[in-house]
Structure 1
C-alpha cells in the first residue's frame, strides 16, 4: 500500500512561495512545539464530543487565578448554555469562535490546549506578551446542539454560518451581539472542511486552508482585510515547514450571509482556518496540534505587530482549494451478485466519516473513466461480491468483499460499512 501525505503543486494563477522565501519563524515556536505534550489536554482524544464534555474537561483550566473569566452569552435553540471565555489585559481585542458547525471540532480541541498554555505558563515570554497586548474573547463551541448530534446545522436546521444577516438562530444572535459589544480588531473563524479537498490541481490533500474573507463582491483589499492577510501569511510561513504542500487558500467569493465576510465588512480583520485531513489521523489530533501552533503564531503576530510587515504574497500565492476527491474507488472489478449477470465495472464509495472510514455507501457504479479518489484499488483480477443480505446497487450500504472467485470464498479484502483498519489493504491500493 502506498500512502501519500501532503506533496505540493499549484493550480492558482499566482506562484506559491517556496520554503526558502519564508520569513524565519518566531524564536519560541520550535520550543513550544517540542513541549506540546505539556500543553496537550487529555480527555479529547476523539473528535466527537458534546459541549458538556468539552466544558467538563476545560473548566478546571479556566480559573480566575489563571486570569480567565467565563461569561454566559445566551442559549442555543434547545436551551444549552452558550459561553464566552475572556483572558488578557491588553488593548487589542481578539474574538475567536469555533464549532459553529457542530461536526467541526478540531479547533475546539486546540482551544483547550491554548487555554492550558496560557493559564499554566504565565511566565513564558509569549504568554506574558499576549496577556499584556491582547484581550482574548473565545466562544469554544457556538453550536452545542449540533455538537450533541455531531451534525453541521443547529437544532432548527439552520446553518449558523449562513445566518449572519438574517440572525434567525439564537446562536447567530449571540455571536453578533458579542461582536457588537466588543468591537474586536481581529477575529478567527475556526472550521473543518472535507478531507477530500485537493491542493490546487494536485493530488495532495488539503490539511489546512486559510482565508482572509472579502468585505464586498469586488474582493477589494482595504486596511481591515489587509491585516487579516498579513496574519494569514505568517500562519502559512509557520505551517509550511510542517505540512509543506498541504496548505491551500479557500475561495474568496463574497457571501453576504456568511459570518467571516460580514465580520470583515463590520470592521473586524477576520481569518478563517479550515482543518481538512491528514491520512492516518482519523481523530484529527495532528491537525489539533497544528491549530494550536497556528493560533499562537497568529496571536503573536497581532501582539507584536509583525503582521503589518508580512509579505501578502505568502497568502495570495497559496493554491486555492481544488477538486473534492471521493473516498474510495475500486477500479475494474467483476461484479458478481447472485441472480444478476456479471459485469466489469468501477465502484465508488463515500464514507459518512471519511478519515476513519465509517458509514460507507455506494455512490456510483459503472465506467468511471479517469476519476480519482483518496484511495484507489485496482481490482481488475478480482470479483466484487456482496455480503449476504446486501446488494451492489447505487446508494446501498457498502457491504462487499473482493475475492479471487465469483462465489466470494477466497476473500482478499472486505468492507462492512466501516473500514477495518487492522485489515491490510490490497497490495495495489494507492492512497493520497
Structure 2
C-alpha cells in the first residue's frame, strides 16, 4: 500500500459524522445501521445500563482478526478510525489489494465496548469498574461480552484499541508520544514468547511506516505484567495481541490528526499479518529500539512565574476534561508548582518580568482552576474541542 496516498484519502474521505472526543452510541448507531452489504452486524449483548453492544464483521478469509475500541469510554480516537476504516473498505473493495485482504482475513470489530462509560465520558463503566482490569474476574457484562467474542471467534490476532493522555513523551529531547504500541507480557518476567514476538514484528512494521509521518513520535508502552488486563490475558492464551494507544498530536485536542495515524496503522497491521513469515519472526531488537513512553509532558508550562509567598518558579497546567450538556470542555488546572526543567509543555510561556493578576480569594496551588486568572491575556483558558482557543 502507498501510505501517503492513504493519508491523502483520509483527509478528504474520513467519516465526517464523527468528530472530536465525545463519541457515544447515539453517534455511531446511525452509521452502523447504514453499513453496506460488505459488513455483517451482530448484537453481542447489553451494557450495565442496557445499551446495545455490537460487532461489525467483514471479509471471508481464514485469518481471524478481532479488535475492540472504547473499552475505556473516554478513549474514542480509535472508534473514529474504525469507521474511517469501514468507509475505506466499502469504497475500495473492488481494488486488487483490498480484495486480497478481504479474501485472506475475517475482521471482527467491536466499535464501542463500554457505551455507558462513553455516555458519561469516563474511563470506567456504569459500575465504576475499569474493564481493562476485569479480564479474570469477569464481574461486568461488558467483560463477559468480550470474552464470549474471543472464545467463539478464536482469533489469530487481537487489536486492543485505546487512547493515552497528553502527559506522555518519547525520546530525548522529548517529543509528544503521538502513537504508542505494546506487545503485552505473558508473565511477570516479561518473557519474549512466540506470540509476543509476532506482535513485536508487526509493531516494528507499524513503526517503520509511521516514521514517514511522525518521526520520533512513536512510543513503546510499558510492558509490566498484569493478568487482570485483557491484553495480558489474551497473550497468555498465546493469541498475539497488539495494544494501540492514540496519543496527542501537537495542538490537536480533538485527536483528528492522531485519528489518521490510527487508520493507517490498522491497515498496516492487516498487511503485515499477511506478509508475516515464521522464519522472519525472532528478532525483537527493532521493537525494543522504539523508545519507551515516559511521563514528561504537561499541557502548558509557565516558566519564571512570580507566585506570592513562593517566588519565581515554574507552574504546570493540565487540562481537566469536563462534560457539560453534551459538550466536552478542557478546564485548565494547576498540576504542579516546582522547578520543571525535566518536563516539557505542549505550550510554554515565559513570564519573566510579567505580572499576574490573581482574583481575590484565589490561591495558586495544585488543583486551582485557572479559568479566571489573567496575565497579559496569555494564559490558557477553558475551551471546548469544537472551539479551541488554545491554538
**Is 2:296–2:342's contact at 8 Å kept on the other side of the alignment?**
no
Q: Structure 1 residue 352 and structure 2 residue 323: aligned? A: no
**1:265 alignment partner, one of 219, 236, 244:** 236
| Between 193-202 and 210-219, the greater mean CA deviation after superposition | 193-202
Cα distance, 1:363 vs structure 2: 2.9
Cα distance, 1:37 vs structure 2: 4.0
**Is 2:46–2:141's contact at 8 Å kept on the other side of the alignment?**
yes
**Map of 1:328 onto structure 2:** 300
What SS does the aligned partner of 1:386 have? coil
| Between 263-272 and 341-350, the greater mean CA deviation after superposition | 341-350
Change (3 A) 1:256 1:349: same
CA RMSD of aligned residues (A): 2.4
**Map of 1:4 onto structure 2:** none
Work out the CA distance in 2 between the residues paired with 1:157 and 1:360: 25
**Is 1:103–1:146's contact at 8 Å kept on the other side of the alignment?**
yes
**Is 1:126–1:300's contact at 8 Å kept on the other side of the alignment?**
no
**Is 2:383–2:390's contact at 8 Å kept on the other side of the alignment?**
no
**Map of 1:52 onto structure 2:** 26
Work out the CA distance in 1 between the residues paired with 2:266 and 2:228: 25
Cα distance, 1:44 vs structure 2: 1.1
**Map of 2:325 onto structure 1:** none
Cα distance, 1:276 vs structure 2: 1.0
TM-score (norm 2): 0.90
**Is 1:397–1:417's contact at 8 Å kept on the other side of the alignment?**
no
**Map of 2:134 onto structure 1:** 163
**Map of 2:109 onto structure 1:** 138
Work out the CA distance in 2 between the residues paired with 1:170 and 1:412: 49
Matches within 5 A, 1:372-383: 372-374=343-345, 375-383=347-355
What SS does the aligned partner of 1:327 have? strand
Cα distance, 1:127 vs structure 2: 1.6
**1:398 alignment partner, one of 370, 378, 382:** 370
How many residues end up aligned between the 2 structures? 382
Residue segments in structure 1 that go unaligned for 5+ positions in a row: 1-25, 404-410, 425-432
Q: Structure 1 residue 314 and structure 2 residue 286: aligned? A: yes
Q: Structure 1 residue 198 and structure 2 residue 163: aligned? A: no
**Map of 2:6 onto structure 1:** 32
Cα distance, 1:328 vs structure 2: 2.0
What do residues 234-271 of structure 1 show as CA deviations (whole Å, max 9, x unaligned)?
A: 11111111111001111111111100111111121101
Work out the CA distance in 1 between the residues paired with 2:336 and 2:284: 42
TM-score (norm 1): 0.82
**Map of 2:148 onto structure 1:** 177
What SS does the aligned partner of 1:326 have? strand
